[in-house]
Copies of this chain bind each other. A is one copy, B any other.
Amino acid sequence: MFSKLARRVLGARLATSQLSGEKYSVFWGLPLLASDAISSVAYAVDEILWALVPAIGLLSYFWIPEIAGVIVFLLLVLTVSYRQIVDAYPGGGGAYIVAKDNLKTTYGLIVGASLSVDYILTVAVSVSAGTAAITSAFPSLFTHRVGIAITIIVLLIIGNLRGVKESSRWFGFPTYAFLAAIIVLIVSGIMKGGNVDKSDIPSFPVSDVAFGTQAVTIFLLLKAFSSGCAAVTGVEAIADAVPNFKDPAPKNAKIAYVLLAFAVFITFGGVAYLSTIYHPVPSAQQTVISQIASAVFGKGIIFYSIQATTALLLAMAANTAFAGFPTLLSIIAQDGYAPRQLAIRGHRLNFSNGIAVLGLMAIFLIIVFQGDTHLLIPLYAVGVFTSFTLAQFGMLARWLRMKPKGWRHKALINGIGAVITLITVIIIGIEKFTSGAWIVLLLIPLIVMVMTRIKEHYNSVAKQLDIPNDRLSILSLEAKYDHHLVVPIASLNGLVVLAMRYARSLTPNVVAFHVETYAGEADKLRKKWQLLDTDIPLVIKQSPYREIVGPLVEYIDSEEHASKPGDMITVLLPQFIVSKGWEMALHNNTSIFIANALFDKRHVVVSVLPFYLEDLPIGRNKRENTPQ
């Protein structure tokens, strides 16, 4: 029944042969994989203004275009670089594979760890910001923000478990809606040229004497730049998911990259430019886009539409991670650095375990940080730029090593990117260390360590399990064990008779074993046993503490020690099956406890014999299915 419900919600399972049919075109793949990068427009300009306005006041709007320009340039460098990565690595994997291939494996693992953390943060940050956009429009929902955020994540999990293609359509639409809304805003905003009612834009806090009086320093501008770098997070996603595009996958992915860069350039550049006209002030109550939109259009239908598409896109941007994270983890798992369950495709052909892990971790973060975007963002950028930096250095090392046609030009692009992102990661690491980056800086080496341990374990297991082909032919599958069968029994009933018959048909060495929990309790059983015409011995052990499993394990242990090498003890557990689940709860089900206790016991095989009551040889049985 549960699995029926699951199939209803998640869709019918898909055969492996349907795999290629689940890939997506550029038109639907782009919004799916680019929504993270595009949606960051909704908070990136805010972040720049948060860094500048409290320090230098009105002068901020003078520096906005410069800083935005550098970020757009960085975006272009990353785009060009990642197009080169797509070409070099059409199998997907992005920065992880680039670093692992061209640098040391450890760098690959650092990238893998960074990106894994960041995908989780992408979900948490985007969903928090999306929820904040909703609660900005409807302040009464503010107290329910954690619940709203969790609901959104659960819907994302379900959508993604349904499958790649459907999710790209479900989640692609909001990206286009947002793009359209922002373009309308930019065009209208520029046309009106700021000649509007600006009553909704907050004024500077005059009471703070230090406000806006600091000097413009390089450090301040770099801080603003690093804050604004939130805009370029998410560029990784397309490179990770290259194989998810329709064939020719690499070409489609590269087209998607150009379109992505163009979309971010238009929206981020446009909003940054509008902010120089409308002078929005960073505020926890109202986002920059919301301030500009309400100034340009007033609080009417267009304003609410812009807010709605922004909120929707932010929530959907989290979906980028649902496409990228499971794919990345499946690649890491195939390399043996993550549990191999993450490399298994689920009923709907996606990496369902990865989807579930991502969703649950993000929900955990939302609960811990109470859905507060500003608390989450400092954790966010360190990992992204760590992986960017290592990817760039990896590509640089590749060009220097391979020296293909035009390698100087390519190396220059990656070199510039490497230096810029390295500076950025250092600035972010230092500046945001105390406000949360330390968590990630601690977590990444920890994850790398765990990954290394996992790999070591798989290697050691594989080495010990492996049989070289040349040994196969001289290996015998035949052996002669001395089998001992122990049948734990509670009383002498029809079940025991069947179990004994099964046991004796395998080996003559059968022992019935009973635990006496109260003194004298076993007398009746002993007397009944004597009535039987059998040479099977009945062993009775006292249990002063009324435990069943303990004395049995002790007996097995003593049996095992007494036995010679080559002996094999099999514990046979007769288990009767009742037709209704609730009826099972009425029985002690000792056999389950015994099976668990003996599960990892060396040289002890646990066998469970299920019997249906109506098959028993005694009583009102319907058929006598027992050979004599």
Interface residues of A (CB under 8 A from B): 13-17, 339-341, 344-345, 347, 454, 457-458, 460-461, 463-467, 469, 471-481, 483, 491-495, 497, 500-502, 504-507, 517-519, 528, 531-534, 536, 544-546, 565-566, 568, 570, 575-578, 583, 585-588, 595, 599-621, 625-628
Return the contact of A607 from the options B14, B606, B617 (Cβ within 8 A): B606
Q: Which residues of B contact A618 (CB under 8 A)?
A: 464-467, 471
A625–B16 touching, CB < 8 Å: no
8 A-B contacts (beta carbon < 8 Å): A465-B493, A465-B616, A466-B619, A473-B531, A473-B532, A475-B533, A478-B501, A479-B504
Q: Which residues of B contact A471 (CB under 8 A)?
A: 618
* Whole-angstrom CA separation of A417 from B75 in the bound complex: 89
B467–A519 touching, CB < 8 Å: no
B477–A501 touching, CB < 8 Å: yes
B479–A492 touching, CB < 8 Å: no
A578–B461 touching, CB < 8 Å: yes
B619–A477 touching, CB < 8 Å: no
Q: Which residues of B contact A492 (CB under 8 A)?
A: 467, 472
B578–A344 touching, CB < 8 Å: no
A16–B518 touching, CB < 8 Å: yes
B628–A465 touching, CB < 8 Å: no
Give 8 new A-B contacts, CB below 8 A, not counting A16-B546, A566-B626, A607-B607.
A339-B586, A464-B619, A473-B533, A475-B533, A599-B608, A599-B610, A605-B610, A606-B608
Among A340, A341, A465, A519, which residue has the most Cβ atoms of chain B within 10 A? A465
Among A14, A466, A495, which residue has the most Cβ atoms of chain B within 10 A? A466
Return the contact of A528 from the options B472, B519, B531 (Cβ within 8 A): B472
Q: Which residues of B contact A495 (CB under 8 A)?
A: 465
* Whole-angstrom CA separation of A460 from B613 in the bound complex: 10
Name the distance in Å between A567's Cβ and chain B's nearest Cβ: 9
* Whole-angstrom CA separation of A36 from B198 in the bound complex: 70
Q: Which residues of B contact A464 (CB under 8 A)?
A: 494, 613-614, 616, 618-621
A627–B518 touching, CB < 8 Å: no
Q: Which residues of B contact A614 (CB under 8 A)?
A: 464
* The 3 residue pairs across chains A and B that have the minimum distance between CB atoms: A479-B501, A465-B493, A566-B627
B479–A344 touching, CB < 8 Å: no
B619–A588 touching, CB < 8 Å: no
Return the contact of A479 from the options B465, B544, B611, B627 (Cβ within 8 A): B627
Q: Which residues of B contact A615 (CB under 8 A)?
A: 602
A494–B467 touching, CB < 8 Å: yes
A610–B619 touching, CB < 8 Å: no
Among A17, A467, A627, which residue has the most Cβ atoms of chain B within 10 A? A467
B627–A476 touching, CB < 8 Å: no
* Whole-angstrom CA separation of A613 from B461 in the bound complex: 7
A627–B570 touching, CB < 8 Å: no
Name the distance in Å between A610's Cβ and chain B's nearest Cβ: 5
Name the distance in Å between A626's Cβ and chain B's nearest Cβ: 6
Return the contact of A544 from the options B16, B460, B476, B518 (Cβ within 8 A): B16
Q: Contacts A344-B546, A531-B469 known; A626 to B479 CB distance under 8 Å? A: yes
Q: Which residues of B contact A481 (CB under 8 A)?
A: 501-502, 505, 627
Name the distance in Å between A509's Cβ and chain B's nearest Cβ: 12
* Whole-angstrom CA separation of A587 from B467 in the bound complex: 19
* Whole-angstrom CA separation of A611 from B481 in the bound complex: 15
* Whole-angstrom CA separation of A87 from B495 in the bound complex: 43
Q: Which residues of B contact A475 (CB under 8 A)?
A: 497, 532-533, 617
B479–A536 touching, CB < 8 Å: no
Q: Which residues of B contact A519 (CB under 8 A)?
A: 16-17
Q: Which residues of B contact A570 (CB under 8 A)?
A: 607
Name the distance in Å between A400's Cβ and chain B's nearest Cβ: 37
Q: Which residues of B contact A566 (CB under 8 A)?
A: 625-627
B605–A502 touching, CB < 8 Å: yes
Q: Which residues of B contact A505 (CB under 8 A)?
A: 478-481, 483, 568
Q: Which residues of B contact A606 (CB under 8 A)?
A: 607-608
- A507 nearest in chain B by CB position: B506
- A570 nearest in chain B by CB position: B607
- A567 nearest in chain B by CB position: B627
Name the distance in Å between A15's Cβ and chain B's nearest Cβ: 4
B619–A578 touching, CB < 8 Å: no
Q: Which residues of B contact A600 (CB under 8 A)?
A: 577, 610
Q: Which residues of B contact A341 (CB under 8 A)?
A: 588
A339–B585 touching, CB < 8 Å: yes
Q: Contacts A479-B505, A532-B472 known; A610 to B604 CB distance under 8 Å? A: yes
B500–A477 touching, CB < 8 Å: yes
A506–B506 touching, CB < 8 Å: yes
* Whole-angstrom CA separation of A522 from B517 in the bound complex: 51
B465–A613 touching, CB < 8 Å: yes
Name the distance in Å between A480's Cβ and chain B's nearest Cβ: 6
Name the distance in Å between A398's Cβ and chain B's nearest Cβ: 31
- A616 nearest in chain B by CB position: B464
- A608 nearest in chain B by CB position: B606
- A472 nearest in chain B by CB position: B531
Name the distance in Å between A351's Cβ and chain B's nearest Cβ: 12
Among A341, A504, A565, A608, which residue has the most Cβ atoms of chain B within 10 A? A608
A457–B531 touching, CB < 8 Å: no
Return the contact of A504 from the options B478, B536, B620 (Cβ within 8 A): B478
Return the contact of A502 from the options B454, B479, B533, B583 (Cβ within 8 A): B479
Q: Contacts A493-B465, A531-B472, A600-B610 known; A628 to B578 CB distance under 8 Å? A: no
